[in-house]
């Protein structure tokens, strides 16, 4: 034990001697850069919610455009997929400009939903996909409304435009009324 303490003391003395011998520039550590963000907590919540729900809409509509048996469901799903894929790309660029973290996957519930949908076939699949699209659109609307209330002009503009697109999507999905 005494030998270990002497070894530690010798190592500490050698380190201090080396630091004192070095100039002040070499001995002073450089602090890590501070990442500045102007994003408030509610705006971070907007980014997280919108990203997860957009990702879910892209995944569900992607499944529906490939596996739906009804041509009308395939067509609506293709339109939703394109609109939400574009929205996800715009959201990602906005988040990068705002230095906001952005999840790229649906949450746990969304992943479970995708697994369930993947096991269905035929008209039951079509109906379940439309229901899932409607539910995801409801959740996305909540996130976009939070963004529309933001004090940040870019976030507000993105959210307001997204609400307009979402309204059109919801009308197309609800018209199928399966």
CATH number at residue 48: 1.20.1260.10
Decide if 160 contacts 73 (C-beta within 8 A). no
The answer as to whether 82 is a domain residue is yes
What pTM did the predictor assign? 0.75
74 domain-assigned:
yes
**Structural domain for 171, as ranges:** 41-176
pLDDT at 163 over 60: yes
15 part of a folded domain: no
Distances (CA, A) of 1 to 7, 71, 148: 10, 79, 65
Kindly state the tokens that stand for 170. 């919801």
Residue 143 pLDDT grade (very low, low, confident, very high; cuts 50, 70, 90): very high
Dihedral (CA of 165, 166, 167, 171) sign: positive
pLDDT digit string, tens, across residues 110-128: 999 999 999 999 999 999 9
Domain presence at residue 3: no
**Residue 8 domain-assigned?**
no
Domains in the chain: how many in total? 1
User: Does some domain include residue 30?
Assistant: no
Mean pLDDT, the chain, as a whole number?
Answer: 82
Q: What is the DSSP letter of 106?
A: -
Is residue 141 in a domain?
A: yes
User: 57: closest CA among 175, 159, 141?
Assistant: 141
Lowest mean pLDDT among 8-12, 36-40, 130-134: 8-12
Measured CA to CA in angstroms, residue 178 lies from 9, 70, 72, 81, 131 at distances of 78, 10, 11, 19, 9
13: in domain: no
**pLDDT by residue (tens digit) across 98-114?**
999 999 888 899 999 99
């Amino acid at each position: 034990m005494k030998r270990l303490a002497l070894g530690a003391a010798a190592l500490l003395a050698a380190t201090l001697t080396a630091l004192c011998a070095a100039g002040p520039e070499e001995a002073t550590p450089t602090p890590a850069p501070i990442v500045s963000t102007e994003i408030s907590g509610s705006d971070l919540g907007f980014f997280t919610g919108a990203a997860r729900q957009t990702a879910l809409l892209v995944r569900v509509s992607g499944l529906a455009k490939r596996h739906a048996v009804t041509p009308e469901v395939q067509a609506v799903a293709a339109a939703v997929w394109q609109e939400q894929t574009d929205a996800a790309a715009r959201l990602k660029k906005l988040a990068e400009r705002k230095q906001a973290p952005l999840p790229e996957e649906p949450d746990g519930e969304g992943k479970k939903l995708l697994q369930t949908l993947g096991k269905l076939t035929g008209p039951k699949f079509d109906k379940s996909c439309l229901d899932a699209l409607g539910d995801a659109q409801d959740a996305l609307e909540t996130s976009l409304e939070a963004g529309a209330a933001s004090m940040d002009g870019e976030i507000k503009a993105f959210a307001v435009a997204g609400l307009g697109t979402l309204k059109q999507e919801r009308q197309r999905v609800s018209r199928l009324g399966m």
